[in-house]
Structure 1
C-alpha cells in the first residue's frame, strides 16, 4: 500500500505551522500509526503492521534527532530517553507482535503530545528554531 500524498490544505497547514504545532502533528501521526499497527497485529496483517511501525519509528527518530542537546539541557536529555524508550517499544512490537509494547509507546507519545499542546500558544515556552522538524517525515494519512 502506497502512502497518500497530503492534499493542498494539509500541505499548507504543515508549511505554515509553528514548531510546536508541527511537533503535535508528528505526535498525532505517530499515535494514529500505533493504533493502526495494533489493529493490524490483531488482524494478522503483518506486512501493513511492519509499514505502520516503521513509519511511527521514523517519526520518533526524527523528533529525537532534532533535539538540541546543548541548549536543551535536562529537558532534552529526558526527551531523548523517552524517545529511546518509545523506539524500543516499537521495535519490540514489530519483532514480537507485542500489542502491550504498542500501548506503552502510545502512552508516552500521548503524554508528550498533551504536554506540547499545553504550551503551544505560549511563545516563551516554545522553541523558535528555523529547522523544519518534518523535513524527512511524511505526515499524510
Structure 2
C-alpha cells in the first residue's frame, strides 16, 4: 500500500516521538497526550468522511486509549482534589462520546470531543510559564 520510502519516514517519526517523550517534562508529556488524542480524532474524522470503517475504528480506539491510559491515568485523584475529580469525569465522558461517535458514525460527536480536548490543551499550555517558574524556584532552592 505504501512505498518503501514511507516506512522509513514512519520509523523516523516514531523515533522522533519516542525521543521527544523520553526527554520531556511531565508538563510537556501531557501536552503531547492532548496533541496525540486530537490528531487521532482528526484521523477518525477523515476516515469517517471517506467511509473507511476500520480506519475510523482504529483512530477512535487510539484516541480513547490516549485519554484513558494517558490523561486519565495520570490524574492523582487524592492530591488533585476537586479539579482532578472533575477532569476524571470529563475524560470518562469523552471516552463515552467517542464510543458513541463510532457507533453512530457521528462527526459532530468527534468535533465535540476535539473541542473539549482543545480547551484543556490551551489551558494546560497557559500554565506553562507558572510551571517553569516553579521548576526554576525549586532548582534554586535545592542548590542551596
TM-score by length of 1: 0.81
User: What residue in structure 2 maps to residue 45 of structure 1?
Assistant: 52
When structure 1 is superposed on structure 2, of 57-66 and 8-17 the one drifting more is 8-17
Evaluate the alpha carbon distance shift between residue 39 and residue 9 of structure 1 in structure 2; reply closer, same or farther with a 3 A threshold.
closer
TM-score by length of 2: 0.79
| Displacement of 1:12 | 2.0
Q: 1:24-43 maps to which residues of 2 (within 5 A)?
A: 24-43=31-50
Q: Residue 130 of structure 2: SS of its match in structure 1?
A: coil
Larger Rg computed on CA atoms: 2
Paired residues, number: 124
| Displacement of 1:10 | 2.8
User: What residue in structure 2 maps to residue 110 of structure 1?
Assistant: 118
When structure 1 is superposed on structure 2, of 116-125 and 66-75 the one drifting more is 116-125
Evaluate the alpha carbon distance shift between residue 7 and residue 87 of structure 1 in structure 2; reply closer, same or farther with a 3 A threshold.
closer
| Displacement of 1:90 | 0.5
Evaluate the alpha carbon distance shift between residue 10 and residue 107 of structure 1 in structure 2; reply closer, same or farther with a 3 A threshold.
same
Unaligned runs of 5+ in 1: 126-141
Q: 1:2-41 maps to which residues of 2 (within 5 A)?
A: 4-5=10-11, 6-41=13-48
